[in-house]
Chain A
Amino acid sequence: MSERLPTKSKKGARDTTTALVTGILEGYAEKAVFRGFSAHPGGDGKAAYRMVWHHDRPFELSLNVPGKSLRFPAVLPGVPARSDMYRELRAFLKSRQTDEVPEHRRVDPAKARLTVSNQRGIVSLALAVRDGDFEYATRKLIQMVHEIFMVFLLDGPYFEYMVERLGLDPDRY
């Protein structure tokens, strides 16, 4: 029994972390940050979350507690890896980890590492949790995706991209 205790404790910790992340995301749904939300626990500290978010599009967030990561596998479609847009997006996200932005807007590299990747034009965003603070990581990842849509796309020359790739009705903007 005693030998299994650490395992059980680890599972308990994973469950607690999953519940913590789920609660945070439910909180965003209750604040209408998401317009639709569901949690899909996968066991072993893994879970998937689906939400209707920017441009009324479905998003999926995967949680991997043992892997210490949170990941949106598809944040933006149709962004070629060698495009100016992708280069500028990477620079934008990099700036969110430096003193180019105030501290409260920053992802602290000591707490989490932000990575952006591109697979066949689909941009994904992930946070590697460095200090076990999943609340910090969850909130920061949500903030980063929100900033991509509310700051990066709106401040940059991406109106035509939003019309062509995100289904934006030009009359609505």
Chain B
Amino acid sequence: MSEKPETKTVASEPESRPSRRGLFSSVGAGAVAAAIVNPGKIFAATTPAIPSIRIAKDITDSLAEATKLGSFDAKGGMTGAEVFAKSCKDEDLAALFCCPGNYQIINAISAAGIPAFGGRSEGSMTSAADGFSRCTGEVTACSGTEGPGFTNMIMNIAVAHRARTPLLVLASNVTIATDDREYFIQTGYQQPTTEGLKKYGKRLIAPDRIHEYTAYAFRHLKTGVPGPVHLDFPGEIYNHRFMAESEVKEYYSKEKYRTESRPHPAPKDLAQAVDMINRAERPVIVAGHGVFFRKAWEPLMVAAEKNDVAVVTSGPMRGHFPDEHRLSASLSPDAFMSADLVVFVGQYSMPSKTERWRFHPDAKAIRVNPTGEDLGRNWPLDLGIVADEGAFLEGLASDLPRKKRDAWVGELAAARQKYEKQLLDEYEQGVKHSQATNTVHHAVVCKEVHDFLYKGSIDPKQTVTGWGGWTIGNCGARWLRAYRPGQEVNCPYQYSAVGPDLAMMIGAGAAVQLGVGPQAPYKGAPVLVITSDAGIAYSMFELDTAAKYKIPIICVVYNNNAWGMWPSAVGTPRSMHMYLFQENLRYDKMAEGLGARGEYVHTQDDFRKALKTSYEVASKEHVSTLINVQALKDFTSQKDYPPGNIINPEPGVGALAH
């Protein structure tokens, strides 16, 4: 049964809050003495009502402050941090997510007017920045303090690296003067720590080269295949004062230090690609990360429609080709094996042929990548093309002849119908399991979310969604849809980390609140994430961050009392305890303690009602809700509760590995 909807947050007006000192003074000296003897009794008798959670006036005042860019003309000139922040502003850095630490840098970035968000752990803030980027394609930054803050970010940097997110990782790093002296706890060699997890990195050591290395950073972030860039700042850099522009070396504008020029396909390569596509009977374009990052969805659509080429989306975000389109193969996995030509465009993370990517052994392959060094890796090619994804697709849109492929389009439709029937069959099984156990099966959870977001009164294109977890994640991916660019964030993409989901979607929610890039038409809408009880533990405290910034998110937690991999212990019963949690934990109550709403449900009807209420509150009051959906771990078992956990075919909906 769902609990009574209640929005107990979030007033920003001043409220009298008893301090500990005040409390004791009102009780009086005698009572204090008694409290020492019997504290519980005395407090029960004299403690005033517990103050409600609220957003402090200091926060709203701070957010209302005017922006202030540094200037060499100011008294005291500019600090290194201000020079860096101004460069970030000039480069349209979209947002910063951080925890305190690296103070001068984050303060200067926020002061410069770049949207900045402070959260509860550096790792989660890194994923929030990642999520913001995944649904906008923009460069975002994260920051933490040297030592513990920085090392807390590592897993999340790795997640961003595997997704090729253009993420600017910032961290302070003591001072050059104290290098190698074990100066308190925060010393550390950061750059080796991110080895293998970044596209470029640099510890800055010369103050007057700060702009030069900012240029390095943005060249890497905005050119070629994206990826994290890691800059670490010793105190000598961000504290350095520059009294004149001439003191900063190579201080010139972005138009001089990088280029917007993109590689166009060689004419003979483009002609060969056009010929191969035109000759193929059942061609499919795999539209990967690069199509989204290069905002190339329009030429993709034109090219596909002109020649009846199927399109399947892939990557850490989906929607750059709409799922409902007649040429979309994203819901037609049974047709993949029929394709006789696969055209990978901007597919940065290449699968191997015997992973889940189910293409025919005889299918020919073309791959288009903005740089040449990766062409031919993992998947041998019949044609490799070095080209910007947008430029290639514009070439296709221009040069492909008009052609109809009715049989191929019909096969895509039949495969989609088969896939949707399969989903409904799984749902019917889930309904029976739910009713038999008085809990909610994962297929029921996901079908309800699907129907609510896409079949009801909400514009199906409106809500940005994300998913994570194991049993629930695999299922959620099958039911969530993407009808426009940036609508679905594939949280566990490639690295398959458990836990960043909520934080990532809070970042995506921030992008929707700001209306950045493809989110502009849906500015202010809520976002939704489906995650697991294992995953929520990693970033649940960021519900405080969502509440603080009024980022409305509906967080559906599939609570099955276990890590998804519990079946791994079935053969060794003595190990099972390591895979299990306490049963019936109340994540909804924890959410309430963090300033969000909580809903507890264990029936399908109550879940449906909770979704509706949560969405209304999110839309109207910008308040987040965690819906704790009670399930059973045994639903994962294919033997005991068929269909159990189903592995998704790739690419398309549910694609996880590449």
Interface residues, chain A, CB within 8 Å of chain B? Answer: 28, 30-33, 35, 53-56, 102, 104-105, 139, 142-143, 146-147, 149-151, 154-155, 157-160, 163, 170-171, 173
Contacts and interface: CB of A to CB of B under 8 A. Distances in A.
Contacts of B649: 150-151, 154-155
B645 A151 contact: no
Nearest to A160: B638
B569 to A, nearest CB: 11
Contacts of A54: 354
A171 B645 contact: no
* A-B residue pairs, 4 tightest by C-beta: A157-B638, A150-B358, A33-B361, A54-B354
B356 interface: yes
A55 B354 contact: yes
Nearest to A173: B647
A54 B649 CA distance: 15
A142 B360 CA distance: 10
A104 B353 contact: no
B337 A151 contact: yes
Interface string B638-658: 110011111101000000010
B183 interface: no
B642 A157 contact: yes
Interface string B546-574: 00000000000000000001011000000
B638 A32 contact: no
Interface in B432-447: none
B568 A170 contact: yes
A158 B565 CA distance: 15
B338 interface: yes
Interface of B: 281-282, 333-334, 337-338, 340, 352-354, 356, 358, 360-362, 378-380, 407, 411, 422, 496, 565, 567-568, 637-639, 642-647, 649, 657
Given A32-B352, A171-B565, A159 B358 contact: no
Contacts of B360: 143, 146
Contacts of B496: 171
A157 B352 CA distance: 23
B337 A147 contact: yes
Contacts of A149: 354
User: By CB atoms of chain B within 10 A, which of A28, A53, A143, A146 has the most?
Assistant: A146
A55 B354 CA distance: 7
Contacts of A35: 352, 354
Contacts, number: 83
Nearest to A164: B571
Given A31-B380, A159-B638, A159-B646, A53 B354 contact: yes
A32 B353 contact: yes
B339 to A, nearest CB: 10
User: By CB atoms of chain A within 10 A, which of B340, B360, B411, B567 has the most?
Assistant: B360
A151 B643 contact: no
B337 A105 contact: yes
Contacts of A151: 334, 337, 358, 649
A159 B422 CA distance: 17
Given A32-B353, A32-B378, A160-B638, A154 B358 contact: yes
Contacts of A158: 638
A139 B362 contact: yes
Contacts of A32: 352-353, 378-380
A28 B411 CA distance: 26
Given A157-B638, A157-B642, A157-B646, A142 B361 contact: yes
A172 to B, nearest CB: 8
A150 B334 CA distance: 10
A11 B246 CA distance: 85
B537 to A, nearest CB: 18
A67 to B, nearest CB: 24
A30 B379 CA distance: 10
Contact of B361 (A28, A55, A157): A28
B356 A154 contact: yes
Contacts of B338: 102, 104-105
A31 B643 CA distance: 34
Nearest to A168: B647
Contacts of B362: 139, 143
B380 A160 contact: no
B410 to A, nearest CB: 9
22 contacts: A28-B361, A31-B353, A32-B353, A33-B353, A53-B354, A105-B338, A142-B361, A147-B337, A150-B354, A150-B356, A150-B358, A151-B337, A155-B649, A157-B642, A157-B644, A159-B638, A159-B644, A159-B645, A160-B567, A160-B644, A173-B647, A173-B657
